[in-house]
């Protein structure tokens, strides 16, 4: 028995990092997965890995900032699997810089992908959940919604917005029996963090050693650490959880 047997899950940004690990784990636990990503090659690779492990998935090309794409993702999923039980709004991008260092184009891009992307994807998918009076929506926030980190003004604004949206969406959707929660990871070693290290440190290896020293548990998180948290929130084991952040950050938020 898998923990997501019989469920259909849409995962955005499923071509890499946390989205990919969550897609693989969800399929292993019995879910049929609609894998959405703006990067076709990466998305198709995740789908092949799921198929090779005996799971069921398909790729839907989707830029979450484009409402035609998000509507097509929802329609393709329902055409194929006849329902949507779980929406993991995971796609996101980083923005490095203080106010002075952040240009308007970066601010707009970060807010478009990280915030508007969740709005558009949910707008496209939620009607299918409302129709069946069941569903789980999981929004990718970050521990940066609670902790001040230097030189991340656009990214922090976007993830604070995701956290606030999650609370509002939970209030709106409870009457439709749809739970809405947020995942708040700390520093998770994915290509996202490798890019950050390249952009922020002259010596990325030394940068990695420095951010690892900051971790209470002496290591960065893994994509699988986060995937297991998402699995819990997506499963019926979390039936009484809505409007809440789940923090997986190795102690960053709760300790000093
Ligand atoms: N890695 C971390 O330390 C960390 C910490 C907290 C939160 N997060 C959040 O977790 C999420 C996933 O991060 P990750 O570390 O796995 O990153 P990643 O860069 O490894 O993967 C992100 C995926 O999203 C896709 N994507 C980007 N823009 C998109 C768009 N417009 N439409 C559809 N897909 C798009 C990319 O192609 C990529 O496959 C992001 O929202 C990120 O902000 C990451």
Rounded Cα distance, 223 and 204, in Å: 20
Is residue 199 scored above 90 in pLDDT?
Answer: no
Mean pLDDT over residues 198-212, rounded? 93
CA 46 from chain center: how many Å?
15
Same domain, 232 and 197: no
Is residue 110 scored above 80 in pLDDT?
Answer: yes
Rounded Cα distance, 155 and 14, in Å: 20
Same domain, 15 and 48: yes
Burial group, residue 72, by CB count within 10 angstroms (0-12, 13-18, 19+): middle
Mean pLDDT over residues 236-244, rounded? 98
Same domain, 139 and 204: no
Nearest to 204 by CA among 223, 215, 191: 191
Q: pTM above the 0.85 mark?
A: yes
Q: In the prediction, which pLDDT does 16 show? A: 98
Q: Exactly one of 81, 155, 173, 196 is catalytic; name it.
A: 155
Tokens describing residue 144? 């940066």
80 part of a folded domain = yes
Same domain, 113 and 210: no
Mean pLDDT over residues 39-62, rounded? 98
Residue with tokens 């194929």: 80
Rounded Cα distance, 126 and 133, in Å: 10
196 part of a folded domain = yes
Q: Could you tell me if 251 and 216 are in contact, meaning their C-beta atoms sit under 8 angstroms apart?
A: yes
Same domain, 167 and 209: no
| Closest CA to ligand 1's atom 23 | 13
Rounded Cα distance, 119 and 115, in Å: 7
Nearest to 9 by CA among 51, 58, 66, 46: 58
Domain count, the chain: 2
Q: In the prediction, which pLDDT does 256 show? A: 74
Rounded Cα distance, 119 and 116, in Å: 5
pLDDT more than 70, % of the chain: 100
86 part of a folded domain = yes
Is residue 50 scored above 80 in pLDDT?
Answer: yes
Determine the distance separating the centroid of ligand 1 and the alpha carbon of 210, expressed in angstroms.
22
Q: In the prediction, which pLDDT does 159 show? A: 98
Tokens describing residue 244? 């809440």
245 part of a folded domain = no
250 part of a folded domain = no
DSSP 175: G
Mean pLDDT over residues 107-134, rounded? 99
Rounded Cα distance, 10 and 182, in Å: 16
Is residue 164 scored above 90 in pLDDT?
Answer: yes
- The whole domain housing 213 covers 188-220
**166: part of which helix (H) or strand (E)?**
helix 153-173
Mean pLDDT over residues 27-50, rounded? 98
Rounded Cα distance, 188 and 224, in Å: 9
Which residue among 190, 207, 208, 249 is best mutated to probe the pocket of ligand 1, counting the most ligand atoms within 8 A of its Cβ?
190
Same domain, 108 and 214: no
Same domain, 87 and 157: yes
Is 155 annotated in the active site?
A: yes
Q: In the prediction, which pLDDT does 189 show? A: 97
Same domain, 36 and 58: yes
Q: In the prediction, which pLDDT does 156 show? A: 98
Question: For residue range 134-150, what is the model confidence (pLDDT) as tens digits?
Answer: 999 999 999 999 999 99
């Amino acid at each position: 028995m898998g923990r997501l047997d019989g469920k259909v899950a849409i995962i955005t940004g499923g071509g890499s990092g946390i989205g990919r690990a969550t897609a693989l784990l969800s399929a292993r636990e019995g879910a049929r997965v609609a894998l959405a990503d703006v990067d076709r090659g990466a998305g198709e690779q995740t789908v092949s890995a799921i198929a090779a492990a005996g799971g069921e998935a398909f790729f839907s090309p989707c830029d979450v900032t484009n409402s035609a794409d998000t509507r097509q993702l929802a329609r393709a999923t329902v055409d194929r699997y006849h329902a949507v039980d779980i929406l993991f709004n995971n796609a996101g991008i980083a923005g490095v810089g203080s106010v002075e260092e952040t240009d308007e184009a970066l601010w707009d891009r970060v807010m478009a992908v990280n915030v508007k992307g969740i709005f558009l994807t949910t707008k496209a998918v939620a009607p299918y959940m409302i129709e069946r009076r069941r569903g789980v929506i999981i929004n990718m926030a970050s521990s940066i919604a609670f902790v001040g980190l230097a030189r991340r003004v656009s990214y922090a604004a976007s993830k604070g917005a995701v956290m606030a949206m999650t609370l509002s969406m939970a209030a709106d959707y409870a009457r439709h029996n749809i739970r809405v929660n947020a995942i708040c990871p700390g520093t998770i070693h994915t290509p996202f963090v490798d890019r950050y290290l390249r952009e922020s440190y002259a010596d990325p290896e030394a940068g990695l050693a420095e951010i690892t020293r900051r971790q209470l548990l002496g290591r960065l998180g893994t994509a699988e650490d986060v995937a297991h948290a998402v699995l819990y929130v997506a499963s019926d084991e979390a039936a009484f959880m809505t409007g809440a952040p789940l923090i997986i950050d190795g102690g960053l938020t709760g300790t000093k």
